[in-house]
Structure 1
Amino acid sequence: MSTEETQAAAREPAFAAGAITERIIAEKQGAVGWITFNNPTRRNAISVDMWEAIPTVLDRFESDPRIRVIVLSGSGDKAFVAGADISQFEHQRSSPRDVQYYENISEHAQLRLQFSDRPVIAMIRGFCLGAGVNLALASDLRLVATDARFGVPAARMGLGYRVSSTKNLVDAIGAANAREMLFTARQFSAEEAKAMGLAHHVVPPAALEALVLEYCATISANAPLTMRAAKRIIRELLKPPSDFDAAACDALITQCFESADYVEGRRAFMEKRKPAFNGK
C-alpha cells in the first residue's frame, strides 16, 4: 500500500469488545497493526493487564499475513508510556512472588515484541520513561516527536533494572550513554535521544503520524522474508561470537533466494514495475 492508501484505510478493531483489557487498543489499518497504550489518566503507565495483553495482540497480528508492520503508540498527546503503573506496586509488586510474576509477564511481553518477525515501530510523543523506554528498545524503529522526553528513573525508586533491558539499552546507545541515563535518572530531550541513537528520527508533533505511516507504507511494500531474515540475523550478530548461529543465518538467506518473492522481485525489476510480494 502507498502512504496515501495507508492513510485512507480505516482502522478496524482487532478484537471484539471485552476480549482484551480496555487499556490496550488493538487495531488493523491495511497492512499496519496498531497497539495503543490506553491509560491516559496515568500518562499511559503500563499496568499488569496491559503487559498480559501484549502477547495476545501480537499473536493475532502475526497470524494475519496482511499485517506487515506493527506500530506502538500512546493514547493522547502527553505520553507514549510514562513507566509502570505505580498505583499497582503496593498490591501487585510488594511480595517476592508478586515481583517475580510482574518481572515474568513484562519480560515476556518485551521479548515477544523484540522477537516478532514483523518490523515494530515505536511512535513516541511526550513522556517515554522506564517501561516506556523498555518497550521502545524492544521496537525496531523509534520515530519521535520533538516533545518526547526519555528517561529511566529506576535509581530514584530503588528498583533493579533487569539485565535484558540493560543490554537492550547498551546495544542501542552504548555503555557510556547508558551509564549516564541509569546513574542520573534524569530525562533526556528528543534531540539528545537522537544524538545517542535512541531515536531514529525527530519531527514536530504534527508531522509524526504522517512520518510513521510513510515508513509503514515503505516497509509493507518490501519482501517479508527478507525483513524477517534481517531481523533475525541482526539479533544473532548482537550475541557473543560463541553463541552466533551461522547455520541459522545461512538458512534464512537461502530461504529468501528460494522464495517466490525473489522470483517476483527479479521480474518486477526487469519489467520496471513495483513488486507484489506475498511472503512466500
Structure 2
Amino acid sequence: MEPCLHHDVADGTATVVIRNPAKRNALTPGMWRALPPLLERLAADPAVRALVLTGEGDTFSAGADIGSLGTTYEESTALALPAEEALAHFPKPTLAAVRGYCLGGGCQLAAACDLRFAEEGARFGVTPARLGIVYAPSSTRRLVDLVGPATAKYLLLSGELIGAERALRTGLVDEVLPPGGLDGRVAEFTRVLLSRSALTQAAAKEFTAGPVDPARLEYWREQASDSGETREGIAAFVERRAPRFGWTPPARSDRHPAVAGPSVPADHSR
C-alpha cells in the first residue's frame, strides 16, 4: 500500500485516514503537503459537518518519516506546521480517533483537533527532544493550552511516552474506550455533533482560538440574528422536539478563511 491520506464522506462526517502501515503510519512529505488542500476542500463541502482523523489499522501515527526530516529548524518544521495549522483552523468540529502509537508529528496533529478519543492501550509522545528538534512556538503553546505547563514540560523535556489513562487525566484525550469500543463511540459522538447548531460550533471554535477582533464579533452577532438559530433552538426545547438547525457558512468570500497553510496539489490523497 502506497503511503497516502485516504478520505471519504458519509452521513455528514468526513473521515481522513493516515495510511502508511509499513512505517506505523509515519507521514511522508507528500502526505504532509496533501493535508492542507484536502482540508480546504472538505471545509468547503456543504455535505461535511464534522471531521474524524484516524490511522490505518492499530496505529494512529508514529509521526513524521524520520528519513524525510531536514536538519535545520526551517526544514524540520516546514512540512508539519502548515498541516497542523490547517487542521487547527478547520471551521467544523474535528475529532482524532486514536489507537496504538500517537507520536511526534502524529501527536501534533491529534493535538490540533478539537477532541481526542483513544482506545485503551494507546501511547502518546511528543518527541522532538529525542531528535534535537526545536518544537515550534505555536505547537508548544497549543500543547500547553491543552495539558497545562507541567505536563507539557514533562512531554517536551523527556520525550517519554504516556498511556491513555494518564493522557485522560492530563487533558490530552477526552475519552478512553475499551478495546473494540472506539469506532462505535466515535460514530455516536459525531451524530451528537451533527445534531447541534453549526453556527454555535463555528463561533465557539473561533472564540476559543484566541482574542476576537471586534469586527469578527459583530460578524457573528449578525449571523446569529439573521439565521434564526436561537429562535429554532428555543422553540424546539419548548415543543420538546429535536431542533432543525439550518445555518450554513456563507460563501467563502464573505467569511473567515477556512484553513491556514499553502494550497498545493494533493498528490497523495485519494
Q: Give the TM-score category using the shorter length.
A: 0.7 to 0.9
Residues in 2 aligned to 1:258 and 1:170: alpha-carbon distance in whole angstroms:
37
Q: Partner letter of residue 54 of structure 1?
A: L
**Shift, 1:263, TM fit:** 3.5
Q: Which runs of 5+ in 1 are unaligned?
A: 1-20
**Shift, 1:155, TM fit:** 1.2
Residues in 2 aligned to 1:278 and 1:51: alpha-carbon distance in whole angstroms:
34
Paired position in structure 1 for 2:225: 257
Asked if the contact 1:125–1:205 (Cα under 8 Å) also holds between the matched residues in 2, the reply is: no
Paired position in structure 1 for 2:54: 73
1:101-120 → structure 2 map (5 Å cutoff): 103-120=77-94
Paired position in structure 2 for 1:123: 97
Structure 1 vs Structure 2: percent identity of aligned residues? 36
Q: Which has the higher helix share?
A: 1
1:35-114 → structure 2 map (5 Å cutoff): 35-77=16-58, 79-89=59-69, 93-94=70-71, 96=72, 100=74, 103-114=77-88
**Shift, 1:262, TM fit:** 3.0
**Shift, 1:246, TM fit:** 4.3
TM-score calculated relative to the size of structure 2 = 0.86
Deviations 1:76-107 (A, max 9, x none): 01x11111101323xxx24x5xx635523321
Three-state SS of the structure 1 residue aligned to 2:173 is coil
Q: Partner letter of residue 155 of structure 2?
A: M
Paired position in structure 2 for 1:141: 115
Q: Which runs of 5+ in 2 are unaligned?
A: 249-270
**Shift, 1:247, TM fit:** 4.5
Out of 127, 132, 136, the residue aligned to residue 106 of structure 2 is: 132
Which of structures 1 and 2 has the larger relative contact order (alpha carbons within 8 angstroms, sep 6+)? 2
**Shift, 1:146, TM fit:** 0.9
Deviations 1:251-279 (A, max 9, x none): 32442233133333233233322122222
**Shift, 1:201, TM fit:** 0.6
Aligned residues: CA RMSD: 1.8
Three-state SS of the structure 2 residue aligned to 1:205 is coil
TM-score calculated relative to the size of structure 1 = 0.83
Paired position in structure 1 for 2:264: none
Deviations 1:106-150 (A, max 9, x none): 211111111111110000110011101110110000001111101
Asked if the contact 1:229–1:253 (Cα under 8 Å) also holds between the matched residues in 2, the reply is: no
